[in-house]
Structure 1
Amino acid sequence: MRDPIPTCPAIPAGAMVPPELQPDYFDLPGHPVESGPELGAALTDLHVAAGQGGDVAIIHHETGRSLTYAELANLTNRVANAMIALGVVPGDRVAVRSPNRPEGVIAAIGAWKAGAAVVPIPMQARRAELEFLFSDTTPKLVASWTDAEYADDVQAAIAATGVRSTLALGGVVPPKAVVLGDVLASGSALPPSRPSSRELPGLVWHTGGTTGTPKACYHTQRRFLLGGHSIGAATGVRRGQRWAAAAPIGHALGFIYHTIFTLLHGATVVMVENFTKPDRLVHALAEHRVDVFTAIAATWSSLNDVLNSDPRLTLPHLRAGYSMWQSASSSATPDAWLERGVRLRNNFGSTAFATWVLVPKPGAEVSPASLGAPAPGYEVRALDPAASGLSWLGAGEIGRMAVRGPTGLTYWNRPDYQERDVRDGWNLVDDLICFDADGNADYLGRTDFLISTAGYKVAPGEVETVLSAHPDVREVAVVGLPDPVRQQVIGAFVALRENVPAAQETRVELQRFVRERLSPYKYPRVVHFIEALPRDHVGKVQSRRLLDMAETIGRAQDQAQDQARDQVRDRAGKGDS
């Protein structure tokens, strides 16, 4: 199935992907969104109509403020009508820049009710980054919570890119901006009258740019809804549960988590602004009786440390946890949480799909590093990365991830990338996976970081998984380092647990540990000890920074060797004289 391109003057010509270049889409049985409410109404008004308007939709930890679904429906109607009055029409883009506060979610849902696509904007983006994001998506309106540190950057970027209107969500109020508080106090709460927006873009967002300039992709409102229904079926999220995540709404995970992962299903989402502070997170989870929490493995480790530091702190309501990128982290963390009654489960999602396409089934016994099985409606396979066509691999073989399902990769105004990354209806993902006999996938790193050593191909994640099982290792990342003989050698950056010496004996022990568990050519010939792995704002390990660090270390070692040789020659010269 392919989607038609809607006729809409507000959408730039060529921005959307023609049907012949789209991925193959699958419907999701039991969820015919064509006969249901529009995206914005599905997250709010649908619950009110079902008699659940009094249920709590959002809790903001820092202020203690809560909103019921009826209140959320009312407020988002007011915002939608205000945006329409400011000239927003179906197909327009509305950029939303907000910390983890209800105002950001209200602005996003209001934009959907107005028929617009939401462009999530990271809070840390500076002027040059903001100008790129605004120029690339041409929003008619920017809804921004602007603190003093970023006020000049935001206002300069808005002025430079011709954004027509600004909605001030909080913080510094730019000149001529409409203030959200005024809209919520006096705007019309009637549901806006708009034609169906299901086939229009509902979301336009950018990749993290870790492999170059960020690239935008979009999802129609219909596809975005289907992605939310798929994850609901995969996780079992339901009315009455409380979910929270250590992820910002300006990035993919935080945005989908605070909308289609939770509100679509009638759950309560607990928003935590200071999610980078483990002690505050623990108190938020305890105070609001959170049932399900999602964070990177390093955050789970820090939360466990906080709980260990004070026996009075407990999380009796926490029943499930999702922990991304576990191959880089010590197995001690999931073991510690299992002792607390919480099994940490991995997953895989991306901006290309706007949901998790791999997730362990509830109750399934899988290893902590396993991504699990394809989510309902999705088909995921391993593709031979060396083959020119689509050559599928079986269980136990490492291949490039290929995906089909209710959502898929559609680049915004990037036809060259679309033809490259969608082949014969399959979304080709730049990540390596390996399925086991039960149909669960292990994540083994990015395709562009696949290591070529002495004629062999080695996936970094395979080595990371083994090293992370060593009791001395807190977290680890593996990269390929240049080598004149082997092309590359396997290099491991290891953060050790407390009181473990960063000594040659430890290095030799880790190398022995890998050699005993993997083929000999897969052991790390280079082991660097570091305090902590470099990560981006959402916690992903920055492998390119590790490569830069290795280069710096190599230069320092070369200089030290040169100095040692010079000293030997000097001593020899003095002996001759």
Structure 2
Amino acid sequence: MKHYTDNFAHDNLPSIDLQPDYLCDLPQFQHPEMLNCVERLLDNHIKKGNGDAVCIRTFEESWTYNNLFEKANQIAHVFIDDLGLVSGNRVLLRSANNPMMVACWFAVLKAGGIVVSTMPLLRSKELTTIIDCAEISIAISDSDLADEMNQVESKFLKITSFFRNGDLDKLTQSKPKNFENYHSKADSVCLIGFTSGTTGLPKMTAHYHKDILNICEAFPVYSLQPTKDDIFIGSPPLGFTFGLGGLVLFPMYFGASTFLIEKPSPDLLLKAIQEYKVTICFTAPTAWRVLTTKLNEFNVSSLRKCVSAGETLPLQVWHDWYDATGLKIIDGIGSTEILHIFISSNEENMIPGATGLPILGYEAKIIDENGNELPINESGKLAIKGITGCKYLNREEKQKEYVQNGWNITGDIFKKDDNGYYWFVARGDDMIISSGYNIAAIEVESVLLTHEDILECAVVGLPDEERGMLVCAHIVLKDNNKASVEFKKTIQQWFKQVAAPYKYPRVINFIESLPKTETGKIQRFKLKKH
């Protein structure tokens, strides 16, 4: 039954028969028919008398739960009174990680809108595509990012409002600090995440109010055991569901606090951890590697949990961090389609190098091309089923690819061992077939990263008439002065001595830096063009 005035999201959801099966039998994953997730994440802290507790910290300011509650309420009034929002409207948010971005996120849901958060580095062309795909009429932007926003040309966008010395700040000042939240349904869409496809139109993934609360009862309970005294920090943007969960949803669900950095360099992350006694850190594998090299400059003894996602965590990075700190990095795999992490570990059941076990609320299996479950230790496609699942808007053909027989097919190649642990093998498109050998790019990278002179690397397959494909390694050296033809040969010979010779990189390119997304994920498709 339709519930919003603007039914775009509802009308473009895949039909029930195309959606995955859901596993919501446990009581913590069951919800009343009417549910606005903001009430559990924010409003309840005020009702329980915890409004004076710190909610968001930055290097410049500190917001309590009450500060955030009142600001979100005022912005919600602006949405209704001044920007003309009606329930179901999509609202684009464009900002780095800061308190106002969080306040706007909650305000959209309070007013009955649907959030579409975006990465700060997106350009006007990419923003226009998102706005056109989701038929977005309202955009909220940090004035620091106004240049690209002002270049957007879309017939759907009716109004853009700016904060940080912008019109939104002025409109907000006179608004009441109380607001009656829109009475959403548990299965009303509240969030649309765009996947970072490299070709064609991006895909819109829809998530419900109940999905937001469900993931808060899954990964953090399984792996982090947060308390109200925890301080979360991390590098992923809030426009990325990994960042949204780790830096907003999880800390606020448990009444903890989050430390936000607009441009989170390794030095700033470590500075914040040292000065503010941060306890839980979320970042990408590439960042963990750099952080390890700087530990002698900072005190990180307050940390108790370290989380890595975005792409698989190389074993060498895990060992280097553990040897330096005694902390076990929690690896995990999630996706925009499934909202957050669904396979991971905790300190008690962790096996270094393994991604882990299906977390509370999820099941997994390994299948072949025909959907048949594969034997133990045989590589195949990863299939997931659980409390959340893929709901592409207006993309029936893509929905049929991702959801098969009730299971979400992630596009990753994994294998399961005798103890039920899942081990990453490759992205489906990162398997290199050379002279009949199946070579996973991550295997080659994991070996290369153990070399004392290599800082970072990314491996791709290059087409070759004789071998089908060649293993090509793009390498960032710790000392770029060592880059030479002779040193390439030295690395190749070393590789053959420490790993299967057929896997060695026949092509090596020394580069100054790897191309990455804002979330720290290596953009291998760019390297394949070299």
User: One fold, TM greater than 0.5?
Assistant: yes
Alignment CA distance shift 1:210-1:267 (3 Å): farther
Aligned twin of 2:241: 252
- In terms of Rg, which structure is larger? 1
Give the conservation status (yes or no) of the 8 Å contact 2:318–2:328: no
Aligned twin of 1:15: 12
- Mapped partners of 2:484, 2:160: distance in 1: 56
Percent identity reads: 28
Alpha-carbon distance, 1:533 to partner: 2.2
Please say which of residues 315-324 and 106-115 is displaced more in the overlay.
315-324
Structure 1 residue 88 and structure 2 residue 68: aligned?
no
2:326 to 320, 338, 341: 341
Aligned twin of 1:491: 472
Amino acid of the structure 2 residue aligned with 1:38: N
Amino acid of the structure 2 residue aligned with 1:258: L
Aligned twin of 2:155: 161
Give the conservation status (yes or no) of the 8 Å contact 1:23–1:424: yes
> What are the Cα deviations for residues 469-528 of structure 1, in whole angstroms up to 9, with x where unaligned?
333332222211111122112222222334894456654554455545655433333333
Q: How does 1:69-80 map to 2 (within 5 A)?
A: 69-80=65-76
Alignment CA distance shift 1:193-1:324 (3 Å): closer
Alpha-carbon distance, 1:41 to partner: 1.2
- Mapped partners of 1:50, 1:78: distance in 2: 21
Aligned twin of 2:343: 358
Structure 1 residue 377 and structure 2 residue 361: aligned?
yes
- Mapped partners of 1:181, 1:348: distance in 2: 42
Give the conservation status (yes or no) of the 8 Å contact 1:330–1:470: no
Alpha-carbon distance, 1:334 to partner: 4.0
Alignment CA distance shift 1:256-1:365 (3 Å): closer
Give the conservation status (yes or no) of the 8 Å contact 2:132–2:154: no
Calculate the aligned-residue CA RMSD, in Å. Answer: 2.5
Alpha-carbon distance, 1:325 to partner: 6.0
1:137 to 134, 137, 162: 134
Task: Give 3-state SS (helix, strand or coil) of 1:302's partner.
Answer: helix
Give the conservation status (yes or no) of the 8 Å contact 2:6–2:86: yes
Please say which of residues 331-340 and 103-112 is displaced more in the overlay.
331-340
Aligned twin of 1:57: 55
Amino acid of the structure 2 residue aligned with 1:271: L
- Mapped partners of 1:326, 1:217: distance in 2: 19
Structure 1 residue 272 and structure 2 residue 261: aligned?
yes
Q: Any unmatched runs of 5+ in structure 2?
A: none
- Mapped partners of 1:334, 1:273: distance in 2: 29
Alpha-carbon distance, 1:132 to partner: 0.9
> What are the Cα deviations for residues 247-279 of structure 1, in whole angstroms up to 9, with x where unaligned?
22233322232322221221211101120x222
Give the conservation status (yes or no) of the 8 Å contact 2:292–2:324: no
Aligned twin of 2:164: 170
> What are the Cα deviations for residues 166-191 of structure 1, in whole angstroms up to 9, with x where unaligned?
332225x3xxxx423541x3212223
> What are the Cα deviations for residues 183-211 of structure 1, in whole angstroms up to 9, with x where unaligned?
1x321222315323322111112111235
Structure 1 residue 286 and structure 2 residue 280: aligned?
no
Structure 1 residue 117 and structure 2 residue 106: aligned?
no
Aligned twin of 1:460: 441
Alpha-carbon distance, 1:124 to partner: 1.6
Give the conservation status (yes or no) of the 8 Å contact 1:474–1:495: yes
Amino acid of the structure 2 residue aligned with 1:431: D
Give the conservation status (yes or no) of the 8 Å contact 1:489–1:525: yes
Q: Any unmatched runs of 5+ in structure 1?
A: 550-577
- Mapped partners of 2:516, 2:363: distance in 1: 30
Q: How does 1:208-219 map to 2 (within 5 A)?
A: 208-219=196-207
TM-score when normalising by structure 1: 0.85
Aligned twin of 1:570: none
Aligned twin of 2:381: 400
Give the conservation status (yes or no) of the 8 Å contact 2:18–2:400: yes
Give the conservation status (yes or no) of the 8 Å contact 2:91–2:116: yes
Runs of 4+ more than 6 Å apart: none
Alignment CA distance shift 1:91-1:197 (3 Å): farther
Give the conservation status (yes or no) of the 8 Å contact 2:211–2:387: yes
Aligned twin of 1:445: 426
1:261 to 242, 247, 250: 250
Amino acid of the structure 2 residue aligned with 1:51: G
Alpha-carbon distance, 1:10 to partner: 0.6
Alpha-carbon distance, 1:246 to partner: 0.9
- Mapped partners of 1:381, 1:472: distance in 2: 38
Structure 1 residue 127 and structure 2 residue 124: aligned?
yes
- Mapped partners of 2:446, 2:414: distance in 1: 13
Alignment CA distance shift 1:226-1:345 (3 Å): same
Aligned twin of 1:45: 43
Aligned twin of 1:555: none
Alignment CA distance shift 1:503-1:125 (3 Å): closer
Alignment CA distance shift 1:365-1:251 (3 Å): closer
Q: How does 1:323-342 map to 2 (within 5 A)?
A: 323-324=308-309, 331=316, 334-342=319-327
Task: Give 3-state SS (helix, strand or coil) of 2:238's partner.
Answer: coil
Amino acid of the structure 2 residue aligned with 1:164: K
Give the conservation status (yes or no) of the 8 Å contact 2:288–2:317: no
- Mapped partners of 1:123, 1:375: distance in 2: 31
Alpha-carbon distance, 1:225 to partner: 1.8
- Mapped partners of 1:24, 1:116: distance in 2: 26
Alignment CA distance shift 1:445-1:161 (3 Å): farther
- Mapped partners of 2:181, 2:55: distance in 1: 24
Alpha-carbon distance, 1:39 to partner: 0.8
> What are the Cα deviations for residues 435-454 of structure 1, in whole angstroms up to 9, with x where unaligned?
23333323233212221222
Q: How does 1:422-571 map to 2 (within 5 A)?
A: 422-498=403-479, 501-503=482-484, 506-508=487-489, 510-512=491-493, 514-515=495-496, 519-549=500-530
Structure 1 residue 315 and structure 2 residue 300: aligned?
yes
- Tell me the matched-pair count: 526
